């Protein structure tokens, strides 16, 4: 069933809390100019190694070409990092590339359905901090598409792309967090529950990549590391965005996140990383899932819904990921763009390094 259309006034006034950082945190962003001379001739403060590395990873991300989900994932990383002006710029360009049907940031083809939605939260944020009515209208059009125009199965679960009628695990990050912050938390939970019901393996508790609704079989049954990372990070964002009154739903999400964390950790390698397909040792060793898992653990420990003991695991995952950052700030050894079928580099890996660092910083305050 499709949810009721929310009132425009409610969306205009939606409180950007939980999934979106409050404005008071924006002053804590990383000073990427710290290594440059000041205009007054005084020497600038030398950044510490973590800040210097973070700035390089961010700059490398900004240099990468981006499609709809990459634009939104990068913007979300900047949002959680506290880079308000960059978030506004990313949001504005997502609107430049908005289709008439409401899909944001779509500069390649007409197929993506869930991917454009990941731009929604940054656009909502940009609308609030700028007061720009055009940005607000763009967010409303994106929400209207997600609620009423997106193709879905008979249970109401949104298909990842047009025509193909498939459910992807990626969607858990792309769609539900936007729904949650845009005043549709119940629908966010409905989408998560539906994807979990379809994609989770009952034995391993890991999530498969793609389900074909027409054939009633998996298009790709593999337990893709990045896919399970999308699931963890997406559920984490929704959990942080749910209203305090939804106590039962919050408890349910905590159970689902913990369940998936416990399912993934046994597949960790001695070097701290994972294989691209978690249970397939013949697949390449991959970096980004470690960052996605670390992000989840940092947020969970800080939020009190993951055991404190897992902070050490998050730190070791982070250390493994840091070891893969090259001299240019590019996170190496990830499931690589543009086809994500071999080792390489990607915007999303750069973004999740930043998300990991933002979550770690917030937990240490």
Predicted confidence at residue 75, as pLDDT, reads 98
Average pLDDT over residues 23-48: 46
Tell me how far apart the alpha carbons of residues 123 and 102 are, in angstroms, rounded to a whole number. 12
Instruction: Report which of residues 48 and 6 the model is more confident about.
Output: 48
Average pLDDT over residues 213-226: 98
Average pLDDT over residues 202-227: 98
Q: Judge contact between 37 and 43, C-beta under 8 A.
A: yes
Asked if residue 6 has pLDDT above 80, the reply is no
Q: Tell me the sheet residues that pair with 286.
A: 274
Q: Judge contact between 162 and 151, C-beta under 8 A.
A: yes
Which tokens go with 285? 């060793």
Predicted confidence at residue 298, as pLDDT, reads 98
- For 288-344, the pLDDT digits (tens) are 999 999 999 999 999 999 999 999 999 999 999 999 999 999 999 999 999 999 999
Predicted confidence at residue 30, as pLDDT, reads 37
Exposure string (b/e) for 293-315, b if CB count within 10 Å is 16 or more? Answer: bbbbbbbbbbeebbeeebbebbe
Predicted confidence at residue 62, as pLDDT, reads 98
Predicted confidence at residue 38, as pLDDT, reads 37
Which tokens go with 271? 């070097």
- For 90-134, the pLDDT digits (tens) are 999 999 999 999 999 999 889 999 999 999 999 999 999 999 999
Task: Identify the band that residue 16 occupies on the pLDDT scale cut at 50, 70 and 90.
Answer: very low
Asked if residue 21 has pLDDT above 50, the reply is no
Q: How far is CA 310 from CA 9, 220, 261, 294, 299, in A?
A: 41, 31, 10, 9, 11
- For 143-202, the pLDDT digits (tens) are 999 999 999 999 999 999 999 999 999 999 999 999 999 999 999 999 999 999 999 999
Residue boundaries of the structural domains of the chain: 13-29+56-363
Of the chain, the end-to-end C-alpha distance in Å amounts to 42
Asked if residue 52 has pLDDT above 90, the reply is yes
Tell me how far apart the alpha carbons of residues 352 and 289 are, in angstroms, rounded to a whole number. 9
Average predicted confidence (pLDDT) for the chain: 91
Q: Judge contact between 339 and 277, C-beta under 8 A.
A: no
Neighbours of 28 (CB within 10 A): 13
Average pLDDT over residues 246-272: 98
CATH of 13-29+56-363, picked from 1.10.150.120, 3.30.930.10, 3.40.50.720, 1.50.10.10, is: 1.50.10.10
Q: Judge contact between 144 and 121, C-beta under 8 A.
A: no
Q: Judge contact between 302 and 362, C-beta under 8 A.
A: yes
The predicted model scores a pTM of 0.89
Tell me how far apart the alpha carbons of residues 88 and 126 are, in angstroms, rounded to a whole number. 5
| Cα-based torsion angle of the residue sequence 32, 38, 43, 48 in order, rounded to the nearest 10 degrees | -10
Which tokens go with 39? 């205009």
């Amino acid at each position: 069933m499709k949810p009721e259309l929310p009132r425009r006034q409610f969306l205009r006034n939606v409180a950007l809390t939980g999934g979106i950082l409050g404005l008071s945190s924006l002053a804590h962003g990383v000073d990427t100019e710290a290594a440059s001379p000041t205009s007054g001739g005084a020497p600038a403060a030398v950044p510490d190694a973590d800040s210097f590395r973070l700035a390089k990873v961010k700059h490398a991300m900004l240099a990468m070409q981006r499609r709809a989900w990459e634009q939104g994932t990068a913007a979300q990383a900047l949002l959680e990092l506290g880079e308000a002006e960059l978030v506004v710029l990313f949001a504005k360009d997502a609107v430049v590339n908005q289709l008439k049907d409401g899909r944001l940031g779509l500069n390649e083809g007409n197929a993506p359905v869930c991917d454009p939605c990941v731009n929604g939260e940054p656009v909502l944020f940009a609308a609030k901090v700028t007061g720009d009515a055009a940005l607000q209208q763009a967010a409303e059009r994106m929400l209207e598409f997600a609620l009423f125009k997106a193709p879905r199965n008979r249970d109401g679960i949104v298909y990842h792309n047009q025509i193909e009628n498939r459910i992807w695990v990626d969607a858990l990050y792309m769609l539900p967090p936007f729904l949650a912050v845009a005043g549709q938390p119940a629908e966010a939970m409905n989408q998560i529950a539906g994807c979990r019901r379809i994609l989770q393996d009952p034995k391993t508790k890991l999530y498969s990549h793609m389900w074909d609704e027409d054939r009633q079989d998996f298009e790709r049954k593999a337990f893709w590391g990045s896919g399970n990372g999308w699931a963890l990070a997406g559920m984490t964002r929704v959990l942080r965005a749910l209203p305090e009154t939804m106590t039962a739903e919050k408890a349910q999400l905590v159970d689902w996140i913990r369940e998936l964390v416990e399912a993934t950790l046994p597949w960790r390698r001695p070097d701290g990383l994972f294989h691209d397909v978690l249970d397939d040792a013949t697949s390449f060793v991959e970096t980004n899932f470690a960052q996605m898992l670390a992000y989840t653990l940092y947020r969970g420990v800080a939020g009190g819904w993951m055991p404190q003991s897992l902070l050490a695991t998050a730190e070791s995952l982070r250390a493994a990921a840091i070891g893969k950052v090259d001299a240019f700030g590019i996170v190496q050894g990830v499931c690589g763009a543009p086809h994500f079928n071999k080792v390489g580099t990607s915007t999303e890996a750069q973004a999740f390094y930043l998300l990991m660092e933002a979550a770690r910083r917030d937990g240490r305050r």
